Amino acid sequence: MYKQTLNESCKSSFPCNNRRCLGNNDTSLIIVVVEVVVVEIVVHVVVEVVVVGVVIVVVLVVEVVVEVVVEEVVVVVVVVVVVVVVVVVVVVVVVERSSSS
C-alpha cells in the first residue's frame, strides 16, 4: 500500500524510465519503511504498557476488595465469638444461681 502510493506520487513528480522512477524513490521508500516500523514499535509498546497498567489496577482492586472482605469476615467472626462467650457465661451463671438456690 505504501509502496504503491509512493510509486504513484513518484511518477507524478519525476520522469520514469523502464517503470522505475528517477529521483529520490529509494530514499523515500526507506524513510516510509522506517516510519512504519517505528510506528508499529510505538503502538506495540503503548499497547503493552496499557495492558500491564490495566492488569496492575485489576490486581490492586482485587487485593483491596479481598483485604476489606477478609477484615469484615474477621470482625464478624470476632463479634460472633464474643456473643457466644457472653451467652455461655450468662447461661452458666444463671444455671449456677438456680441450682444453688
Average pLDDT over all residues of the chain = 78
Report helix, strand or coil for 16.
strand
pLDDT digits (tens, 9 = 90+) for 59-96: 999 998 888 888 888 888 899 999 999 999 999 988 88
Average pLDDT over residues 45-62: 91
- Sequence ranges of the domains in the chain: 2-100
**What band does 18 get if pLDDT is binned at 50, 70 and 90?**
very low
Q: CB–CB of 36/43 below 8 Å?
A: no
- Whether this prediction's pTM lies above 0.85 is answered by no
